[in-house]
Amino acid sequence: MLAVARYAIGRSLARLHRLSFVRDPVLLQGREGRWHWPWAINGLLLTALLFVLLSIGVIVFEDVAVRQNWVRGGFPQNVFPLDPAQPITYLDVLIASLPFLIAPLIALPLAHGVSWRRAFSYGGGFRWGQFWRAALALLLLALLALALGYALEPQQYRFPARPPGHLFWIGLAMVVIFVQSLGEEVMFRGYLLRAWGAVLPFRLPVTGAVIALFVTGHLWNEDLQRDLLVNVFYFVAGEIIAYAVLFRTQNLAASAGLHWMNNVLALVTPTVPGQPTVLALAIYTDPVYMAGGSRLLDPLTHATGIVGVTLLLTMFFWRRSPFYLTPAADPAPSMDDAEPQTARD
């Protein structure tokens, strides 16, 4: 037994070393066009400038909307400020999402000399089949969790009566949230990981830095703040899964499907204080949070979290699963990771 444990620990340490200090073949595929340090920095600065300029346009739009009384009392400041009673909020979220999507798509050809399509994969197009498999896998797990939760705590659930037209607003929200989540995917996984993974092709350090940046941008969300340590822990766990499927498929589709479905579920089945309820079909009121407590030391919370992560990974990596994500072909070895001629600018 001790020998087995030593073997397992040894393999884990070797894999950790490889992911940290050996150049990653997937990230090395980003070495095309203008990928060197100066271009990575220039691309980052160009992306930041475009993002700021586009964001100023969002601020101007919101200011005009408030002054013209297109929205009552200002735009909501919650996680997903979508309100069917004020349709302009849908347009606002859509416009506010565009800087994340447009800035990197412009920077890739201008600063890096590669097609904007490279933001979506390391080769080939966006794999819609992978997008839907990932999204439906997460939806299935969420429905199972909802059914189990309701069986155990029916008193904690509310199912608000909604008019038939409510489904239209949910459908429209799903479209807006698709643009919002895809924009974040392109900015962080499609652009930052690609550009900086090319010059620093070490999987764990680069991925860890991008995850830290992405999580930091969400720390002030009301739903995350309610139980910060627990929510950040599972946020990071979700990001690790997203990067695992990204490196497996070498395509943004599966991680984008997970991101989109996660945000849709937060709209229609909110479970944490701070998540919006205006579009919700099922609302869970957590008794621990209502009492002002935390789930940090709650064994059931972590047990269900581990089970959920295990099931999701099994759905993606088990060959017989209908949600199986086929791995991309191994990247061609790079001559000492020799720089291709197109990279010598």
| Cα torsion 2, 8, 141, 230: sign | positive
pLDDT at residue 19 tops 90: no
Percent of the chain scoring above 70 in pLDDT: 93
Distance CA 70, CA 64 (A): 8
What pLDDT is attached to residue 34? 96
Domain ranges of the chain: 22-328
What pLDDT is attached to residue 123? 82
Length of the chain: 345
Write the CB contacts of 282 (distance below 8 Å, at least 6 apart in sequence). Answer: 146, 157, 158, 159, 268, 269
- Both tokens of residue 329? 């072909």
Q: Which of 112, 101, 122 is nearest to 40 (CA)?
A: 112
Q: Which of 312, 320, 325 is nearest to 253 (CA)?
A: 325
pLDDT at residue 318 tops 80: yes
- What do you get for the CA distance between the two ends of the chain, in Å? 56
pLDDT at residue 340 tops 80: no
Q: Which of 107, 97, 102 is nearest to 46 (CA)?
A: 107
What pLDDT is attached to residue 336? 43
Distance CA 198, CA 31 (A): 5
**If pLDDT is split at 50, 70 and 90, which confidence band does 331 have?**
confident
Kindly report, residue by residue over 224-268, the tens digit of the pLDDT: 999 999 999 999 999 999 999 999 999 999 999 999 999 999 999
What pLDDT is attached to residue 36? 96
Average pLDDT over residues 186-199: 97
Contact 218, 224 (CB under 8 A): yes
Average pLDDT over residues 24-51: 97
Q: Which helix (H) or strand (E) holds 245?
A: helix 228-249
CA 303 to chain CA centroid, nearest Å? 23
Q: What DSSP string describes 50-65?
A: HHHHHHHHHHHHHHHH
Instruction: Compare 16 and 233 and report the one with higher pLDDT.
Output: 233
Of 3-17, 46-60, 329-343, where does mean pLDDT reach its minimum? Answer: 329-343
Residue recorded with tokens 């197109």: 342
Average pLDDT over residues 202-211: 97
Q: Which of 224, 220, 245, 221 is nearest to 233 (CA)?
A: 224
Kindly report, residue by residue over 146-170, the tens digit of the pLDDT: 999 999 999 999 999 999 899 999 9
Kindly report, residue by residue over 74-133, the tens digit of the pLDDT: 887 777 889 999 999 999 999 999 999 999 999 999 999 999 999 999 988 899 999 999
**If pLDDT is split at 50, 70 and 90, which confidence band does 7 have?**
low
**Averaged confidence pLDDT in the chain:** 92
Kindly report, residue by residue over 259-303, the tens digit of the pLDDT: 999 999 999 999 998 888 999 999 999 999 999 999 999 999 999
Instruction: Please report, for residues 101, 287, 291, the alpha-carbon distance to residue 282 in angstroms, rounded to integers and kept in the order given.
Output: 31, 16, 21
Instruction: Compare 79 and 199 and report the one with higher pLDDT.
Output: 199
